[in-house]
């Protein structure tokens, strides 16, 4: 495992991290908490130190799993969670970025995570109804009170990021980025480099498209978000599967699993700090973590990019 500095936050994190959205058990099919905890423990065994979660992942379930899994070893890991969306009842989301609400949300996360401080508190996504400057200012005050060590933003547009940077000590940005979705590198990634921001990439496997497991006739479990994701429907799904097959062929030529090669490509891009890789089992954690040890040469990196082509991410 390798480690990189989390921007201006002042601490290091593993370049492969565990993303826990699927562990919430709602949006990516059924899960077993015991398997989720085993996935976290296997990642720890392989040197992973960063675990990313959010209150809305399974209505708090993912945070609770992270808290249980990391109990007793808290000082050895970095926990990142988010704030902003609240659930008045399961399945109903609304935004509340008021200072009082953000403080209450963080207190609830601390209880679920069984810790007294959040290492990286992130704004889950901006909302036009709530000025991002005010939200960042409120989050900065939570750092001052000792409930968070650093703050970040997620799912922002360039102008929103600039406004956030003007309002407080933003340390990181979290955005989707993969061989099948390179929108981030057009404007946001250069902006992150200019401002010495850490970059946490999610969906490095494009919600599993680059794992190689899907077929054109794949049927998703009820509630799986991919069932309504345009990337997994109709001609776009077919094109993405063909691109994934080409990527897998390049990886095989180097003796690598497709998923590991795709994650390693992300990690090789200048400015990327860590790849958040979802896992529901220990086996998935193992495969993801091993991508950190790969050093792809320029020819292989170019081959993967050419293979991915113009598919829709």
Q: Which domains does the chain show, CATH number per domain?
A: 3-211+266-295 (3.20.20.100)
CA distance 297 to 302: 9
How is the chain split among helix, strand and coil, in percent rounded to 5?
45, 20, 35
**What are the residue numbers of the active site?**
57
Quick check: helix, strand or coil at residue 250?
helix
Burial class, 34, CB count within 10 angstroms (exposed 0-12 / middle 13-18 / buried 19+): exposed
**CA-CA-CA-CA dihedral for 172, 175, 180, 181, to nearest 10:** -110
Are the C-beta atoms of residues 273 and 4 closer than 8 Å to each other? yes
According to the model, what pLDDT value does residue 222 have?
78
pTM beyond cutoff 0.85: yes
Tokens of 37: 């905890």
According to the model, what pLDDT value does residue 233 have?
87
Tokens of 199: 């970059």
Q: Which regions of the chain are under pLDDT 70?
A: 310-313
């Amino acid at each position: 495992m390798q480690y990189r500095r989390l921007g201006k936050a002042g601490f290091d994190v593993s370049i492969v991290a565990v993303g826990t959205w699927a562990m919430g058990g709602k949006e990516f099919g059924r899960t077993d908490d015991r398997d989720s905890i085993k996935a976290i423990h296997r990642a720890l065994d392989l040197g992973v130190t960063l675990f990313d979660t959010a209150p809305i992942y399974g209505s708090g379930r993912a945070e609770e799993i992270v808290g249980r899994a990391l109990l007793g070893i808290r000082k050895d890991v970095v926990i990142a969670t988010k704030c902003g969306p609240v659930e008045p009842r399961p399945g109903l989301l609304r935004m509340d970025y008021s200072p009082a609400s953000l403080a209450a949300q963080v207190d609830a996360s601390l209880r679920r995570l069984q810790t007294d401080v959040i290492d990286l508190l992130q704004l889950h996504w901006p909302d036009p109804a709530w000025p991002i400057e005010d939200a960042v200012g409120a989050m900065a005050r939570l750092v001052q009170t000792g409930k968070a060590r650093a703050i970040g933003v997620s799912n922002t547009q360039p102008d929103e990021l600039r406004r956030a940077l003007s309002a407080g000590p933003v340390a990181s940005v979290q955005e989707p980025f993969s061989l099948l979705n390179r929108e981030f590198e057009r404007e946001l990634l250069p902006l992150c480099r200019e401002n010495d921001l850490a970059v946490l990439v999610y969906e490095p496997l494009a919600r599993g498209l680059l794992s190689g497991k899907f077929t054109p006739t794949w049927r998703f479990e009820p509630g799986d978000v991919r069932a309504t994701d345009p990337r997994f429907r109709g001609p776009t799904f077919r094109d993405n599967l063909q691109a994934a097959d080409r990527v897998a062929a390049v990886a095989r030529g180097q003796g690598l699993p497709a998923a590991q090669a795709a994650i390693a490509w992300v990690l090789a891009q200048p400015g990327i700090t860590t790849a958040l890789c979802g896992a529901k089992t220990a086996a998935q954690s193992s495969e993801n973590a091993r991508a950190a040890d790969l050093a792809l040469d320029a020819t292989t990196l170019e081959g993967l990019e050419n293979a991915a082509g113009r598919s829709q991410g």
